[in-house]
Chains A and B, each alone.
Chain A
Amino acid sequence: FRLNIEGLLVYFPYDYIYPEQYSYMLELKRTLDAKVCYNPFIKLISSCMQYAYPLEVTKLVYCSRTVPEIEKVVEELRKLMDYYAKQTGVKNDFLALALSSRKNLCIHPEVSSLRFGKEVDGKCHSLTASYIRAQHHSNPSQPVCQFFEEFDAVGRQVPIPPGIYNLDDLKDFGRRKGWCPYFLARYAILHANIVVYSYHYLLDPKIADLVSKELAKKSVVVFDEAHNIDNVCIDSMSVNITRRTLDRCQTNVETLQNTISRIKETDAAKLREEYRRLVEGLKEANVARETDIYLSNPVLPDEILQEAVPGSIRTAEHFVGFIKRFLEYLKARLRIHHVVQESAPQFLKDIYEKVCIDRKPLRFCAERLRSLLRTLEIADIADFSAITLISHFATLVSTYSKGFTIIIEPFEDRTPTIANPVLHFSCMDPSIAIKPVFGRFQSVIITSGTLSPLDIYPRILDFRPVTMASFTMTLARTCLCPLIVGRGNDQVAMTSKFETREDFAVIRNYGNLLLEMSAIVPDGIVAFFTSYIYMENIVASWYEQGILENIQRNKLIFIETQDAAETSMALEKYQEACENGRGAILLSVARGKVSEGIDFVHHFGRAVIMFGVPYVYTQSRILKARLEYLRDQFQIRENDFLTFDAMRHAAQCVGRAIRGKTDYGLMIFADKRYARADKRGKLPRWIQEHLTDGSLNLTIDETVQLSKHFLRQMAQPFRREDQLGLSLLTLEQLQSEDMLQKIAQIAQQA
């Protein structure tokens, strides 16, 4: 039906609407020209902003995290567009598409059969690089990708017909036309109305530079599932250098050297041409940025655009020599026996004293290397990832004096005898990576089901939100049942606190909890541990005590491992066991793959058990440095941040079970620390509301009793009519006076 939200006509493709959705749209409309921070309940809500969209803005960039999420958003869009066309009768020329990596989009028979994303990228490059194609002209036996050739020949002139394309649609379209879907999509996002992709494409400077830099300024950017956005920002700016990286870099340098000397003999003009270009400087890029065509790149700071590349690294040989020196210096630094932590200026001073490398040429390192690789026509960029990494490091370390720290560790903490030196160049300020996004786009919307507490996000991302609101959810029945279990039946406190986590009684009680739950919860249970090591310890101990055997009489057990292939296999079997009535338990790890991207709808997750509080490994030096930085820069206390981080992951884990209003699930927090107000208060509002005083600090027995009752209640027939008027509204109900008042209470301004 059609809605009128404060003068804006919105097409809504369903017959019923959740009150929260309406409220969300309302808030959104009021603040569409600003940076917003929201906390909705489910996915559907966040995509409903698209409903408001076609009349307002020119371009929407929708960033989500995983491929399935991206697909879901595209499906929603498709529904909307069908409805829109039906209502208005106008066939609008509207283009929306999803973009993913080559691995998900490639249709080349050989390349697409490769298993790892990196291999696919490398292989693709070796078939599509410009100089390979040039060789192909003279020597037809040189293999090229016919899909790319076809696209390059005609694809750019003919615009992709309007419509909604998910990844499969793109592939189909590509196959029909014989065009490469990946390059087609990359080209098409420039004129598409809605782009849906992973937020690495916008936040990671290396990728953003290739993909997203030409997005129009008036775009609206949405980050969905953004509760982790600070970590993504930090990861995208951090560099880790191991000895292996350096070794590979060494080979890269040698290759470069050989290529240079060869080219010098055959084609010296090319190098001279490059030199000339470098003297002129990066003027072109500068002009582009000033005229505001491109999204600025944090790796390419503004100042260096004004200047020419310094003379010392202008010729190819000099630059290679320079890199070599830098490499030797890094090697020397890695040859240490104790942990060193220093700031970027300290590092620069040291490098100047030791090997006489100035700050200025270092800053141009990344740009210079790119130019060189282009000039030398090196096809397989994937091979040069090591040297590219080093050059990025050089540029970053010389550009930012604040917000980064350098930590050199001679060995891992867990294996102090094995020398494995690592240089962490760690970003501590997520705002550096996200700044260009905030700076460039008209409105940025940050939204997730588990953004809680809201006020910490603006602080760590360093922006001023125009609106912050968190929405509760209206339910016709209480379909979630959060319980905090603090004690075993023997009254021993259950906690994953460091001092007691190896305690026999704690492990036994955790085992008993799982055993009891496995007997009363139907179909699937997902259990989360705080880390892989802890999970291994506990499971081993359960095995010795025979608890595992008892559990297996009720349900099958599957375990998430660090191997992605193994995990997806376990997941598949887990779902099968849930489907055919055998019942299963999935043991997994908070912060792991399962906790982040996988939904356990309905019978796949009738209960989630969170064993312990998922704190990060607090002894890590990188974390310590970050905490210190947060305290100094943003006045956020260490403990607050750690708790905030732990609770958002816990919420993320337990939130896996409930993915809609007809779904139901138990959420069991098995640690007595959850009962404390500082932890409880950091859970999302929609969980907190259902956490009564009666469900804090329960024993296992009490938990079982409450769960049994809950599960029986939820198994009673539940029809759509029961929801109508309460949590599901028709248009008439929506327009009634008292409902509007109720809706006004849903959004809580933070």
Chain B
Amino acid sequence: MDEEPERAKRWEGGYERTWEVLKEDESGSLKATVEDILFQAKRKRVFESHGQVRLGMMRHLFVIIDSSRSMEDHDLKPNRLTSTLKVTCAASVNCTILSQIGIITTKNKRAEKLTDLAGNPKKHIAALKKAVDSTCVGEPSLYNSLNLAMQTLKHMPAHTSKEILVVFSSLTTCDPANIYELIKTLNGLKIRVSVIGLSAEVRVCTILTRETGGSYNVILDESHFKELLILHVKPPPASSSSECSLIRMGFPQHAIASMSDQDAKPSFSMSHLDSAGEPELTLGGYYCPQCRAKYTELPVECKVCGLTLVSAPHLARSFHHLFPLEAFQETPLEEYEAERFCEACQGELKDKSVFTCLACKKVFCVECDLFIHDTLHCCPGCMQTDRMS
């Protein structure tokens, strides 16, 4: 009964009943059910529009990743940790630009800050990639990690939405003090805690999320996991009590200087001040409109004057959260009688349903519908009519 040996081989893994979901149709073929499952999976994402709700666009979010013993479980392939990190990477890229993310891991009853709150996803992705190789040992401590996140978040201004997202794999937590006290404090600080459970419903998480107004979900499989995480990318509605304030932002121009230019002097970027990497001399960069400090990457908070520096396209990308594209109307293929081709990809409509934009009445296939809502955030049909008029 010693510690579970490394079970890397597929055939040594757990016993699964993958066939149970599949059902034969009348002719005894599995094809129909397989297609149905795929179709369902595509449509599962619910486009719930908040209507006219204030969204907490300025987010300060700590992601707490459990990296305790239970993360070595193989029910997500290749194991829970790798899968989690992969999914989180993907999600953090999509996160809105106005939000700042930090990552905390917890193992061996301790919590450790992997990255500090920062707006730039590159750093997080690098850190997460590095974490894949770390070993998972001991028990997680919900208390310690929440406490660590809270220490930073409580100094954040009141107009921002303060959030913690816990990816919790273990079923136990090893806490140094009563966690219910901490939950009360979190509630007082208006920090919203959401939990994604990887194995089952744990009571303390239920209470934690209920008290702080977050959501609690348990994953069914990998794709469900991804979906749940994507849901968290969307900014949550702001609580009515949060303040309104104007925020100063700088939109620095990228100054390009070529090597041939004699006036250009190579200089260090300000963001290298605290990074461990080799400082690099560069010629061009973004200059803060207020203090002329140089940065090579955006978005960033100016180290000198504290101004948030973003680029206009970045800001525009956050826009769609405020005005999401309305869901298209779904109609079964049989009832649809016009020409059967998709407005976007020009392909033939073969799926069970077709999707009609309510504004321009153009018709799209499932694939394009998803692409439009997830990535484009605007209807190509409407754009076309706009231009024509």
Q: Which residues of B contact A550 (CB under 8 A)?
A: 1
Contact between B203 and A603 (Cβ–Cβ < 8 Å)?
yes
Q: Which of B75, B171, B179 contacts A554 (CB 8 A)?
A: B171
Contact between B220 and A581 (Cβ–Cβ < 8 Å)?
no
Contact between A581 and B204 (Cβ–Cβ < 8 Å)?
yes
Contact between A580 and B75 (Cβ–Cβ < 8 Å)?
no
Q: Which residues of A contact B219 (CB under 8 A)?
A: 712
Interface string of A347-364 (1 = CB under 8 A from B): 000000000000000000
Q: Which of A512, A547, A705 contacts B15 (CB 8 A)?
A: A705
Q: Which residues of B contact A511 (CB under 8 A)?
A: 1
Q: Is B180 an interface residue (CB 8 A)?
A: yes
Those of A681-713 within 8 Å (CB) of chain B: 699, 701-702, 704-706, 708-709, 711-713
- Chain A nearest Cβ from B20, distance in angstroms: 9
Bound Cα distance A519, B75 (Å): 13
Q: Which of B14, B171, B205 contacts A701 (CB 8 A)?
A: B14
Residue of A nearest to B205 (CB): A581
Give the interface segment out of A398-406, A490-498, A520-528, A564-572: A520-528
A522-B199, A522-B200, A581-B179 in contact; A704/B172 too (CB < 8 A)? no
Contact between B15 and A701 (Cβ–Cβ < 8 Å)?
yes
Those of B111-166 within 8 Å (CB) of chain A: 139, 142
Contact between A578 and B203 (Cβ–Cβ < 8 Å)?
yes
Q: Is A291 an interface residue (CB 8 A)?
A: no
Bound Cα distance A472, B175 (Å): 43
Q: Which residues of B contact A515 (CB under 8 A)?
A: 1
Q: Is B298 an interface residue (CB 8 A)?
A: no
Contact between A705 and B16 (Cβ–Cβ < 8 Å)?
yes
Q: Which of A546, A554, A579 contacts B204 (CB 8 A)?
A: A579
Residue of A nearest to B206 (CB): A603
Contact between A712 and B171 (Cβ–Cβ < 8 Å)?
no
Q: Is A142 an interface residue (CB 8 A)?
A: no
Q: Which of B1, B142, B203 contacts A523 (CB 8 A)?
A: B203
Interface string of A447-476 (1 = CB under 8 A from B): 000000000000000000000000000000
Interface string of B202-218 (1 = CB under 8 A from A): 11111000000000011
Interface centre among A521, A546, A715 (most CB of B within 10 A): A715
Bound Cα distance A709, B204 (Å): 21
Q: Which residues of B contact A705 (CB under 8 A)?
A: 14-17
Q: Which of A579, A583, A704, A717 contacts B14 (CB 8 A)?
A: A704
Contact between A714 and B201 (Cβ–Cβ < 8 Å)?
yes
Contact between A520 and B171 (Cβ–Cβ < 8 Å)?
yes
Bound Cα distance A747, B220 (Å): 36
Bound Cα distance A714, B197 (Å): 12
Bound Cα distance A715, B204 (Å): 13
Q: Which of B173, B178, B179, B200 contacts A715 (CB 8 A)?
A: B200
- Chain B nearest Cβ from A230, distance in angstroms: 38
Q: Which residues of B contact A554 (CB under 8 A)?
A: 171-172
Q: Which residues of A contact B204 (CB under 8 A)?
A: 579-581
Q: Is B322 an interface residue (CB 8 A)?
A: no
- Chain A nearest Cβ from B193, distance in angstroms: 13
Q: Is B83 an interface residue (CB 8 A)?
A: no
Q: Is B99 an interface residue (CB 8 A)?
A: no
Bound Cα distance A704, B205 (Å): 23
Bound Cα distance A107, B376 (Å): 74
Contact between A546 and B142 (Cβ–Cβ < 8 Å)?
no
Bound Cα distance A713, B179 (Å): 27
Those of A560-603 within 8 Å (CB) of chain B: 578-583, 602-603
Contact between B1 and A545 (Cβ–Cβ < 8 Å)?
yes
A582-B174, A583-B172 in contact; A711/B199 too (CB < 8 A)? yes
Residue of A nearest to B197 (CB): A715
- Chain B nearest Cβ from A693, distance in angstroms: 13
Contact between A715 and B14 (Cβ–Cβ < 8 Å)?
no
Those of A711-734 within 8 Å (CB) of chain B: 711-717
Q: Is B70 an interface residue (CB 8 A)?
A: yes
Contact between B220 and A713 (Cβ–Cβ < 8 Å)?
yes
Q: Which residues of A contact B171 (CB under 8 A)?
A: 519-523, 554, 583
Bound Cα distance A604, B200 (Å): 14
- Chain A nearest Cβ from B307, distance in angstroms: 42
Q: Is A487 an interface residue (CB 8 A)?
A: no
Bound Cα distance A588, B218 (Å): 30
Those of B4-27 within 8 Å (CB) of chain A: 14-17
Bound Cα distance A582, B201 (Å): 13
- Chain B nearest Cβ from A643, distance in angstroms: 31
Contact between B220 and A522 (Cβ–Cβ < 8 Å)?
no
Q: Which residues of A contact B201 (CB under 8 A)?
A: 522, 711, 714-715
Q: Which residues of B contact A704 (CB under 8 A)?
A: 14-15
Q: Which residues of B contact A578 (CB under 8 A)?
A: 203
Q: Which residues of A contact B15 (CB under 8 A)?
A: 699, 701-702, 704-705
Residue of B nearest to A603 (CB): B203
Q: Which of B14, B16, B142, B217 contacts A581 (CB 8 A)?
A: B142
Bound Cα distance A16, B206 (Å): 25
- Chain A nearest Cβ from B99, distance in angstroms: 25
Q: Which residues of B contact A602 (CB under 8 A)?
A: 203
- Chain A nearest Cβ from B368, distance in angstroms: 29
Q: Which residues of B contact A555 (CB under 8 A)?
A: 172
A581-B175, A582-B172, A582-B174 in contact; A712/B203 too (CB < 8 A)? no
Bound Cα distance A71, B88 (Å): 50
Q: Which residues of A contact B75 (CB under 8 A)?
A: 708
Contact between A712 and B218 (Cβ–Cβ < 8 Å)?
yes
Interface string of A57-91 (1 = CB under 8 A from B): 00000000000000000000000000000000000
Bound Cα distance A554, B139 (Å): 9
Residue of A nearest to B172 (CB): A583
Residue of B nearest to A520 (CB): B199
Interface centre among A511, A555, A603, A714 (most CB of B within 10 A): A603
Q: Which residues of B contact A520 (CB under 8 A)?
A: 171, 199-200
Interface centre among B180, B197, B199 (most CB of A within 10 A): B199
Those of B77-98 within 8 Å (CB) of chain A: none
Q: Which residues of A contact B220 (CB under 8 A)?
A: 712-713, 716
Contact between B199 and A708 (Cβ–Cβ < 8 Å)?
yes
Bound Cα distance A712, B197 (Å): 9
Bound Cα distance A718, B175 (Å): 29
Those of B177-209 within 8 Å (CB) of chain A: 178-180, 197, 199-206
Bound Cα distance A546, B3 (Å): 11
Residue of A nearest to B203 (CB): A603
- Chain B nearest Cβ from A143, distance in angstroms: 45
Bound Cα distance A555, B173 (Å): 10
Bound Cα distance A738, B197 (Å): 40
Bound Cα distance A555, B75 (Å): 21
- Chain B nearest Cβ from A72, distance in angstroms: 22
Interface string of B240-276 (1 = CB under 8 A from A): 0000000000000000000000000000000000000
Bound Cα distance A711, B217 (Å): 12
Chain A residues with CB under 8 Å of chain B are 511-512, 515, 519-523, 545-547, 550, 553-555, 578-583, 602-603, 606, 699, 701-702, 704-706, 708-709, 711-717
Q: List 19 A-B contacts (CB under 8 A).
A: A523-B202, A523-B203, A550-B1, A553-B69, A581-B203, A582-B173, A582-B174, A582-B175, A583-B172, A699-B15, A701-B15, A704-B15, A705-B16, A712-B200, A712-B218, A712-B220, A714-B200, A714-B201, A715-B218
Q: When A and B form their complex, which 10 residue pairs have the shortest distance between CB atoms, in order from nearest?
A: A581-B204, A715-B218, A603-B203, A715-B201, A711-B200, A522-B200, A581-B173, A583-B172, A701-B15, A522-B171
Chain B residues with CB under 8 Å of chain A are 1, 14-17, 69-70, 75, 139, 142, 171-175, 178-180, 197, 199-206, 217-220
What 14 new A-B contacts, CB under 8 Å, besides A582-B174, A715-B217, A716-B217? A515-B1, A522-B201, A523-B202, A553-B69, A554-B171, A579-B203, A581-B173, A582-B172, A583-B172, A699-B15, A701-B15, A705-B16, A714-B200, A715-B200
